Every structure is written in structure tokens, then in C-alpha cells.
Amino acid sequence: MSMAMEFCPSCGVLLEIEAAGGGRKMRFFCPTCPYICPINVKMVRKESLVKKEVEPIFGADEMKYAPKTSATCPRCHHGEAYFRQMQIRSADEPMTSFYKCCNDSCRFDWRDD
């Protein structure tokens, strides 16, 4: 069930929602004053999510300059990969290493925390 943002007309406090007795009916109530408002209609709120555009760890231009290391690809088991390290968590946590397989037919991306 979606929650609507409703405010008490008496005191202006955000209303809460609860079951109104033994049935499946719901009602809004004010937690600070005696105001109660029964919900007589079905409440539906649909929102479409906008997916965040994800930037690739290795851009096309960066690949020719990226350093290589010996790392085994989990997909094709090739023994060499491009790598990049980034601090993605708090400063007291270790850096995260990102890898991209050097095998031209694979190019699998993975990370090592």
C-alpha cells in the first residue's frame, strides 16, 4: 500500500495510517490530537523509477593507458588484466580494485574488495 502525505487540518502534524477496527478499512489519525479521517477510496500511487546512468570503470580511451597486472579472469581464466583502484567507501576502509580482462574476446569486468 502506498502512503500519501496527509497533514492534520487541526494542528498540521503529519497523519499516520492504521487499520480501522476489525475490517480491512484503513484510516488516517493524528498522533497529537483526536482527529481521525476514514479512508473510503482505494489509494494507489505509481511512480516510475529513473535508473541512474552508470559510468564504466574503464572508458574506451583509458584502456590503452591502463596498467596491467597478473590476475586470473573469473570467466575465461586469462592470466592478465587491466586494473584501477578507487576509494569507494570511507577513508579508513581499503581501496577497491577493479579489473578488466585483457583477453580481446572476453573483456570481463570484476572487482576485488
Query: Which residues line the annotated binding site for Zn(2+)?
Result: 8, 11, 30, 33, 73, 76, 101, 106
Cα angle, residue 22 at apex, residues 11 and 28 outer, rounded to 5° = 20
Where do the DSSP E strands lie in 1-113? 16-19, 26-29, 36-38, 68-70, 80-86, 96-101, 109-112
Supply the Cα-derived Rg of the chain in whole angstroms.
Answer: 27
Do you know the residue count of the chain? 113
Residues with Cβ within 8 Å of residue 9, at least 6 apart in sequence = 35
* Amino acid identity at 83: F
Q: List, as residue ranges, the binding site.
A: 8, 11, 30, 33, 73, 76, 101, 106
